[in-house]
Amino acid sequence: MNYSHVRSTHARAKDHPYYPIVLALLVMVVWGGTPMFSKIAATEIDPLMVGMLRTVVAGLLAVPLVLVWRLALPQSRRGRVLLGYSGLAAFVAFPLVYTVGQAQTSATHGALILATLPVFTSLFGTLVERRRVSWTWVAGCTIALVGEAAIIVWRTAGSVGGASVAGDVIVLASALVCATGYVAGARLSQRGYSSQSTTLWGVAFASAALLPLFVWSIARDGLPVAGTAAWGSVLVLAILTSILGYIAWYWALARGGISRVAGVQFTQPLFGLVLAAVVLGERPGAGTLIAAVAILSGAWMVRSAAKV
């Protein structure tokens, strides 16, 4: 076999203008499956343990990458504080709180609640940077948050996938915490620190912070006894979602252009809804679909207004 020809063909494929878009779509499929994988894992493993496993296992991959790529820490104290908070919010608080909430609600509701992350991120970023906002931005936030309230409050008999108000509220709380972590990471990037370093160092710090609690839990209860589906879901959440997904996403943004690729993120909840329906058999009712349209429309308006 002519391996040089194979390598050159692969290199040309990577340079294709649609390659970043395709890669970004694959990342959205994985990220869209986060509610589904979390729910599958939490059916056999304690939700708090799932959250810890997600970060600790991701840390086993992140630490070697930090060392091999010789990624430096931020030089300023302010930068290190932002990095620490970003890592704790995104890889400690979020997975622990989110997994507990997702275990108590449907994958459909989880996907739609997480769809407001761009709205919360933009909201917190606007407050921190004290930016002026347009009426389109205000309207988008309002529409998305009304849709969010409808998802949580509007209940019908036999709610899809065992969705509960408590589970929805806990998932919402995790999204709020995660959004503040995103803002901290963005502020760090504005200081010239790479997003790749922010992600990998954040995971490394978070896994180190969780390690004592993880070891204590294992010493007390032993390793969880679960099937292939549950452990496979944990590995997907740890490796594909937390590490490879972020690396691929940042690569796609850099290679394909932020303005061109970023819009792909709005397909994430759509993939989440499809996966919940196909794999878990969840069938959202008319009210959920109306709320979904409101959430996605509001998020799109916020995103569009933020570009102006």
pLDDT at 140 (0 to 100)? 86
What pLDDT is stored for residue 45 in this prediction? 94
Q: What local confidence, expressed as pLDDT, does residue 285 receive? A: 78
DSSP labels, 274-306: HHHHHHH-----HHHHHHHHHHHHHHHHHHHHH
Average confidence (pLDDT) over 42-53: 94
Q: Give the pLDDT confidence score for residue 190 in this predicted structure.
A: 75
Per-residue pLDDT at 254? 62
pLDDT grade for 248, boundaries at 50, 70 and 90: confident
Give dist(CA 240, CA 238) in Å, integer.
6
CA distance 281 to 285: 13
Q: Residue 305 and residue 138: Cα distance in Å, rounded?
A: 9
- pLDDT of 205: 93
With residue 101 as reference, give the H or E element that holds it.
Answer: helix 94-102
pLDDT the model gives residue 5:
44
Mind listing the pLDDT tens digit for each residue in 62-103? 999 999 999 999 989 999 999 999 999 989 999 999 999 999
Spell out the residues 6+ positions from residue 70 whose beta carbon is closer than 8 angstroms to its own. Answer: none
Q: What letters, b where the CB count within 10 A reaches 16 and e where it falls short, cover 222-255?
A: eebebeeebeebbbbbbbbbbbbbbebbbbbbee
Residue (of 144, 153, 198, 203) closest to 175 by Cα position:
144
Half-sphere exposure of 92 (CA within 13 A, CB side): 19
What is the pLDDT, as a whole number, of residue 307?
Answer: 58
Q: Which residue has the tokens 């694959």?
A: 26
Q: What is the pLDDT of residues 95-125, one digit of tens each?
A: 999 999 999 998 888 988 888 887 888 788 8
Instruction: State the average pLDDT for the chain.
Output: 83
pLDDT, residue 263, reads 61
Banded model confidence at residue 20, pLDDT cuts 50, 70, 90: confident
Higher pLDDT, residue 1 or 105: 105
Q: Where are the domains of the chain?
A: 19-307
Q: Is the separation of the CB atoms in 180 and 84 below 8 Å?
A: no
Predicted confidence (pLDDT) per residue in 135-191, tens digit: 888 898 899 889 888 888 775 544 555 678 889 999 999 999 988 988 888 788 778
- Alpha-carbon radius of gyration of the chain: 19
Q: Is 221 helix (H, G, I), strand (E, B) or coil?
A: helix
Asked whether the whole model's pTM tops 0.95, one would answer no
Give the C-alpha separation, 94 to 175, whole Å: 7
Beta strands in the chain (DSSP E): none
Select the more confidently predicted residue: 268 or 47.
47
pLDDT at 194 over 80: yes
Is the pLDDT higher at 136 or at 15?
A: 136
Residue of higher predicted confidence among 300 and 38: 38
- Paired tokens of 222: 């032993």
Return the SS3 of 46: coil
Least confident of 192-196, 215-219, 275-279: 192-196
Q: How are the residues of the chain apportioned to helix, strand and coil, as percentages rounded to the nearest 5?
A: 80, 0, 20
pLDDT at 276: 87
**What distance in Å separates the CA atoms of residue 136 and residue 305, rounded to the nearest whole number?**
6
